Amino acid sequence: MTKKYQRYVHLLQKVADLEAVQALLGWDQEVNMPEAGAASRARQLATVAGLSHELSTSEELGDLLDALHARGDQLGTAERRNVELSRREYLRQRRYNRDFVERHSRLCSEAYEKWLQGRTTNDSTAYLEVLDRMVQLKREEAELLGYTDHPYDALLDLFEPETTVAELDPLFAEVRKKLVGFVARIREQAPIDQAFMQQKFATDVQWDFSLLLLRGMGYDFAAGRQDLSPHPFTTTFGPGDIRVTTRAEENNFANMCWSSIHEGGHALYEQGLPAKAYGLPLGKAASLGIHESQSRLWENNVGRSKRFWEYWYLRLQEHFPRQLARISLHQFYRAINRIEPSLIRTESDELHYHFHILIRYEIEKQLIAGSLEVAQLPEVWADRYREYLGLEVPDARRGILQDIHWAYGSFRYFPTYSLGSFYAAQFFHRAQQELPQLERNLAAGSTGTLLVWLREKIHRHGQHYSASDLCQRITGEKLNFQYFMSYAEKKYDEIYFKSL
């Protein structure tokens, strides 16, 4: 390793250290921070964000990257890929200035507090005011970054590199064409009884069971922890410290259970990335779509499968004997896979879920393009829910205040959720082909072979391959929506149209 490359690694790891400090401050803001600390925390986050940006766009780093890029033939394959991706990111970050970065950080902190207050009071008025400023800032960001066809492309590339509106529009057209009709057929069937899921489930017992699930998945508690927060998330402070949060509702067991599994899937990916590449592209996830593929694979392909609960349902009954003693596995399995439109994205079934994403994707594109203004959001949101899910939005909490993403400036994030589900179906199909004992192992409570497969096929590579190339490498083809449709049709035909 050359001295220049060593210096490059040193600088990027210092940037990663500052990003970890930001993440820690953000985690504490959502988990522990008292309300009165909001203003000073916003300032602290902005200061650290500014320092991180300053270092990641320094002349020294730029000169190093240019020199290493020019001598690429003297570097190994992994080193060349790190330099290539770092140089691309460096040139992009140079388009920002410190003032923009600090304004963005302060606005995110302010928007988060207004979102949290709005959730408490069920009033979106103050949140919409700050969200309007956030949208203006994101439009400014799109112009800073530049784009060819649609301003949303500039923001999308930050989370899902090389993906554009021109690619996503046909994908969501398939959702409308294939999934909407299939779901409509299901909704014509008699509803599945799910009443027992709304009994009183003590939150401390739910918590204990969620920890068992995380351990069963392979989550390493020596390198992480779980806490409570208003909106579940996963955060990384570096190798050896990958944390998840969840939320609990005493009368809704499903909320904590599947949010813990979902975030556990994210955390397993982070725990599987190569620690020696800390701060470097090869130590980071390939894309958010691939990241979501890991959480959705564990949440749905595994965590809502009958095989998985053949083992775990007995343990769940032991935790809640009064509530579940008379409920069979058959009843439980059907209940956790009930298809019914819901106002809340995170509580939605795995098919209607993509209608929620479609709504947000369409709204985000319009907001960034300037064809929709924030003041119109409540009305447009209500119209889309009426159109796509046949539901009336009764209040702000179950409307535009249900997601935290826009408060954090995360426009372009939502499409990655659907991409993740579609990648997950394709990956899981391949895993079933390559691991003939997979179903039997899941029924025995063993997820180790699946985790090893994911580590080998996905986690260890970091950003060595693009999302599209990684999918091609694993499955032999690019992302194909038909895998998700085939999975959905097989599973829900058995639940709704055939005798199990």
Beta bridge partners of 227: 245
CA distance 368 to 84: 29
Strand 234-236 with 242-246, pairing: antiparallel
Tokens of 148: 């060819």
226-228, strands of its sheet edge to edge: 226-228, 242-246, 234-236
The residue annotated as part of the active site, out of 160, 263, 292, 364, is 263
Question: Taking Cα atoms as reference points, which of 382, 304, 393, 385 lies closest to residue 349?
Answer: 304
Separation of CA 490 from chain center: 25
CA distance 329 to 307: 10
Residue 263 is among the residues annotated as catalytic for this protein:
yes
CA distance 43 to 453: 43
Alpha-helix residue ranges (DSSP H) falling in 370-413: 377-389
Asked if residues 157 and 144 have their Cβ atoms less than 8 Å apart, the reply is: no
Question: Taking Cα atoms as reference points, which of 457, 368, 378 lies closest to residue 413?
Answer: 368
**Which H or E element spans position 236?**
strand 234-236
Asked if residues 86 and 65 have their Cβ atoms less than 8 Å apart, the reply is: yes
Catalytic residues: 263
